[in-house]
Structure 1
Amino acid sequence: MASPDKKKKRHSKRLSLHNLLNIVFPQKINSPSPLSRIPANYLTHEQKREKCTELFKLVSNSYRRMISKLDTDMNIVMSIYYMLLRGMDTIEDDMTIPVEKKIPLLRNFHKLIQQRGWTFTKNGPNEKHRQLLVEFDVVIEEFLSFSPEIQDIFVDVAKDMGNGMADYILLQEKSKYHVITIEDYDRYCFHVCSVFCLGFGRIMNTLNPELPDTDENYYLIKDVSFFIQKLDIIKDFREDFLQNRVYWPRAIWGQYVNDVSEILDPNKKEKALNCLSAMTFNALSHLINSLEFLSKIDDPVVFEIIALSIAVEFAYLTSIFRNHEVFIKHMTYQGINEVKSQCKNLRDICILFKSNVKTIMKKNDIKDFRNYLKINKSCKKIEQWCDRYLSKQQNQYVAV
C-alpha cells in the first residue's frame, strides 16, 4: 500500500503511497540511458525490463526500497503500477499544460495506458518526471504483458484516479478554497490516496490470496490511506499555499481565521497552532483502524511495508504537533532509520505508538479549549488499543 513518491504541491497530492505514502522522495531524471528514445518495439524483452528498472530507480526512491523485499514477480508488478500512476500524476502536476488539454488526458489515461507505443512529450522542460512519459511506451509494454486480471485492476485505478484528479482541477479553477467540509476533505483523500491503496491491496490479493481480503477490509484500508494522506496534507500546508493550493478544509480553518492566509501570519501564531491541533485530531481518528488492519497481516514483508508507511507518518505528526516551524519552513523528519527498526511486528509498533501519543499529550496545550480534551481522548484510545494488544501477547507468551 505504499503511494507513489512524496508528491509535493499538487492536486492529486502525492499518490502518498505518494506518498506512501511521504517517505517517498522522488529523484530527478538527469541521465537517460543508452536505451533512451529507442521505441519499445525495437527493444528485446530483456532491454524493456532493464529500461523499466532504470526508470523506476530514477522516479522513485523510498517506494522502491519499500517493495524491494517482495518476491521478483510481485516487485515487477508493483513497480509498473507505481510508474503508470506516476505518469498520470506527472501530467496532473505540470502547471505548464493548459487545463483544457490536461482534463481529457487525465480522464482518458486508463485508455492511453492500453495503447502500445503511446508516449507524452508535452511536459514543461522543468517537470521533474517528464522523462518517464517520454519513454512511457516501455512501461506500457511491460504492463500489457501482465495477466488480464492484473491489467483490469490497473485500468480501474487509473480511471478512478484520473477522473478524481480532473474533477478537483475543475473545482480549483473556480476557487482555491474548494475543500469546504470534512466530507469534501475525505472525498479528496479518497480520490488521491485510497484508490491507489485499495488497488495495491487488490493486486496483492491476486498475487497472494493468503493476504487479508481487500474487499472485506475496505474500511480499514481506507482509514490507513486517509491517515497517510492527511499527514501529507498537514505538513505541506505552507508549500501548497505558496503555490495557491489549499487542502485544509474550511470547516476546520474557518473556526480560527477569516482567511486561510492568516495561518501563515506570525502575529497569529496561537490561532495557527490551534488549527494545526484540529487537523491533528482529525487525522488521529484513523489510527485505530490502521492498527486493526495491521493486526490482520501475517506476511512479514507486507506487514513491514504498510507498518513503515503508517509509522513514519505518525512519527512526523508527533514532531510537528504544536510546532510553529511547520508554517515557516519545510521540515524534514530525522528519525526515519530509528522508526524503520521498529516496524518488524505489531508489538514494536504498539510500543512506538504509545511513545508517540505520550509525546503528543505532553505537547498538547490546555489553553486550546476546542481541541485539548478531544486530542487527549483520542490519544488515550490509541494507547488503550496498544495496551490490550501487548497484554494479549504477554498472556500468550506466558501460556506457552
Structure 2
Amino acid sequence: MGSLGSILRHLDDFYPLLKLKMAVRRAEKQIPPEPHWGFCYSMLHKVSRSFSLVIQQLGTELRNAVCIFYLVLRALDTVEDDTSIATDVKVPILIDFHRHIYDHDWHFSCGTKEYKVLMDQLHLVRTAYLELGKSYQEAIEDITKRMGAGMAKFICKEVETIDDYDEYCHYVAGLVGLGLSKLFHASNLEDLAPESLSNSMGLFLQKTNIIRDYLEDINEIPKSRMFWPRQIWSKYVDKLEDLKDEENSIKAVECLNDMVTNALMHVEDCLKYMSALRDMAIFRFCAIPQIMGIGTLAMCYNNIEVFRGVVKMRRGLTAKVIDRTKTKADVYGAFFDFSCMLKSKVDRDDPNATKTLSRLEAIQKTCRESGLLSKRNSFVREPRYNSAMVFTLVIILSIIFAYLSANRQK
C-alpha cells in the first residue's frame, strides 16, 4: 500500500489503494489446485504482479490461454536476456523455441531468481499449454515462432535507425498485441483486429518501458543491451551513456522529449483498437495498461529524473486507474487528461515542441470527437477535503496501518 504521507497528499487514493491491496490478496489465494496450473498462476504472480491482476477479470478459458501465452514469452525473453549464454548457443534456441513447447524432453536452465525457476519447471507450463484449445495453441505457437526469429535477428543487430527501433519493438511487443488479438478472436468474444492496430498497442507500451527504464538498463551489470535508437540520441550526445551525466542535462531532456514524442505516434491507433472491443472484461484488460502507459509518459516528459532515478506513477494513481477504468468514456478521459498534463510541460524552445504539440492535439481531438469526455472518471484532478475529513481519515489510516503491520508480523 502507498506510504501514509503520499496518501495524505492525495486523499482520493485511499479507497482505491485499499481495494487494490484486497484484490492482490484474493488473486494470490485463487491458485488452481492442479499442480501444473497452480505453478503457472503462482509464477505469473511472481514475474508480473500487475499483469496477473488485470487478467483475473477474464473468463477462465481465455484467462488460462493468456496466462500460458505470457509465461511462454517470458521464458523466451529469459533466454534472450541472459548475457551469459553464447550467441551461437542462444540463437538456435530462440529460433526453435516454438518447437520446444511441445517437447517433453527439452530443458535449458538459464536466468536468475524466479526466471530460473520458470525455465527449470517449464515442463509444467508445457503441460498446461497442451490442455488449451487447438486455436489457442496455434496462436501461441505462431507468435512464439515469429518473436523468437525476431529476437535472434537483433542479437546480432544494433538499433541504429528509427525503423530498427520500430522493428525491434514489433518483435518483442507488437507481436504480443497480435497474439492477444488472436486469442481474443479464438475465444469467440471479439473480431480479429487489424494487425497494424494490434501492433501499435504493443509498440506504445514497449516504447514507454524503454524510455522509463533508461537508467536501470544502462547501469545494469553485466551491461544489458540498450534500445534507444542512435538516429535519435546521436542528435544530442556522442554516446548514449552521456545522457546521464549532469553536464548534459539540457540535451538529455531534449532527447527524452524526442523519444516520448516518437511513442505518442501510436496513441491514436491504440484508441481506435480499444474503441472496437465489445467484451468489457477484454476491454478493461487492454485499457488499464494503455492508460498506465500514457500516464507514465506524462510523468517522464521533460523530467531530468529519468536520468537520475525511478520515474513512475504513484501507487495510489495506479490503484485509481485499475479501480476506475470501467467504460470507454474512462479511457478517452484518461488519455485526454494525461495528454493535457503532458502538454502543459512542453517548452516552446524544445526542438521537438511543434511535433509534440501536434501529436497531443491530434490525441485530444480524437478524445473530444468520441463525445464521451463529459461521462468520464478523472484520474488526475483531486477532490477537495475539509480539515475535519482529513483528521478523520488520518485516524482511520493509522488504525489500518497498525492492523496491517500486526498481520505482517504474525
Aligned to 2:397: none
> Do residues 84 (structure 1) and 72 (structure 2) align?
yes
Aligned to 1:144: 130
Is the CA contact (8 Å cut-off) linking 2:332 and 2:372 kept in structure 1? Answer: no
Q: CA RMSD in A?
A: 1.9
* The one of 206, 212, 219 aligned to 1:229: 206
CA–CA distance in 2 between the matches of 1:360 and 1:60? 27
Aligned to 2:83: 95
Per-residue CA deviation, residues 5-42 of structure 1 (Å, 9 max, x unaligned), is: xxxxxxxxxxxxxxxxxxxxxxxxxxxxxxxxxxxxxx
CA–CA distance in 2 between the matches of 1:244 and 1:392? 42
> Do residues 341 (structure 1) and 323 (structure 2) align?
yes
1:362-377 superposed matches below 5 A? 362-368=344-350, 370-377=351-358
Aligned to 2:285: 305
Aligned to 2:304: 324
Quote how far apart the aligned CAs of 1:53 are: 3.1
- The residue type paired with residue 356 of structure 2 is I
Aligned to 1:197: 177
CA–CA distance in 1 between the matches of 2:325 and 2:55? 14
Quote how far apart the aligned CAs of 1:328 are: 0.8
1:116-131 superposed matches below 5 A? 116-121=104-109, 123=110, 126-131=112-117
Q: Secondary structure at the match of 2:34?
A: helix
CA–CA distance in 1 between the matches of 2:224 and 2:37? 39
Per-residue CA deviation, residues 167-211 of structure 1 (Å, 9 max, x unaligned), is: 11122xxxxxx2111111100110000111101110110112x41
* The one of 167, 179, 190 aligned to 1:211: 190
CA–CA distance in 2 between the matches of 1:48 and 1:221? 30
> Do residues 153 (structure 1) and 139 (structure 2) align?
yes
Quote how far apart the aligned CAs of 1:50 are: 2.9
Quote how far apart the aligned CAs of 1:119 are: 2.9
Is the CA contact (8 Å cut-off) linking 1:74 and 1:207 kept in structure 2? Answer: yes
Q: Secondary structure at the match of 2:278?
A: coil
Count of aligned pairs between the two proteins: 338
- The residue type paired with residue 349 of structure 2 is K
Is the CA contact (8 Å cut-off) linking 2:329 and 2:373 kept in structure 1? Answer: no
Aligned to 1:4: none
TM (norm. structure 1) is 0.80
> Do residues 282 (structure 1) and 237 (structure 2) align?
no
Is the CA contact (8 Å cut-off) linking 2:336 and 2:363 kept in structure 1? Answer: yes
* The one of 48, 61, 64 aligned to 2:52: 64
- The residue type paired with residue 91 of structure 2 is I
Per-residue CA deviation, residues 47-95 of structure 1 (Å, 9 max, x unaligned), is: 3333333333333311111110111111111111111111111121122
* Distance change (3 Å), C-alpha of 1:262 and 1:51: closer
> Do residues 358 (structure 1) and 340 (structure 2) align?
yes
Aligned to 1:252: 232
Is the CA contact (8 Å cut-off) linking 1:237 and 1:247 kept in structure 2? Answer: no
CA–CA distance in 2 between the matches of 1:325 and 1:193? 26
Quote how far apart the aligned CAs of 1:387 are: 0.8
Is the CA contact (8 Å cut-off) linking 1:342 and 1:349 kept in structure 2? Answer: no
Q: Secondary structure at the match of 1:367?
A: coil
Quote how far apart the aligned CAs of 1:377 are: 1.4
Quote how far apart the aligned CAs of 1:341 are: 3.2
CA–CA distance in 1 between the matches of 2:116 and 2:272? 39
- The residue type paired with residue 324 of structure 1 is I
Is the CA contact (8 Å cut-off) linking 1:179 and 1:248 kept in structure 2? Answer: yes
CA–CA distance in 2 between the matches of 1:377 and 1:155? 40
* Distance change (3 Å), C-alpha of 1:352 and 1:149: closer
Quote how far apart the aligned CAs of 1:359 are: 1.3
Is the CA contact (8 Å cut-off) linking 1:221 and 1:293 kept in structure 2? Answer: yes
Aligned to 2:8: none
Which consecutive residues of structure 2, in runs of 5 or more, have no partner in the other structure? 1-32, 376-410
Q: Secondary structure at the match of 2:156?
A: helix
* The one of 148, 158, 163 aligned to 1:183: 163
CA–CA distance in 2 between the matches of 1:385 and 1:55? 39
Which consecutive residues of structure 1, in runs of 5 or more, have no partner in the other structure? 1-44, 172-177, 395-400
Q: 352-361 vs 385-394, which deviates more? A: 385-394
Aligned to 1:387: 368
- The residue type paired with residue 372 of structure 1 is A
Per-residue CA deviation, residues 85-138 of structure 1 (Å, 9 max, x unaligned), is: 1111112112222222211111111111111243333x25x4441111111111
Quote how far apart the aligned CAs of 1:244 are: 4.6
> Which is helix-richer, 1 or 2?
2
- The residue type paired with residue 75 of structure 2 is G
Q: 335-344 vs 109-118, which deviates more? A: 335-344
TM (norm. structure 2) is 0.78
* Distance change (3 Å), C-alpha of 1:339 and 1:46: closer
Identity between Structure 1 and Structure 2 (%)? 29
Q: 357-366 vs 96-105, which deviates more? A: 96-105
Per-residue CA deviation, residues 234-281 of structure 1 (Å, 9 max, x unaligned), is: 111222222352211111112222222221111111111111111111
Quote how far apart the aligned CAs of 1:308 are: 0.5
Q: Secondary structure at the match of 1:330?
A: coil
Q: Secondary structure at the match of 2:226?
A: coil
- The residue type paired with residue 353 of structure 2 is Y
Q: Secondary structure at the match of 1:108?
A: helix
CA–CA distance in 1 between the matches of 2:39 and 2:310? 34
Quote how far apart the aligned CAs of 1:292 are: 0.9
* Distance change (3 Å), C-alpha of 1:213 and 1:359: same
* Distance change (3 Å), C-alpha of 1:314 and 1:185: same
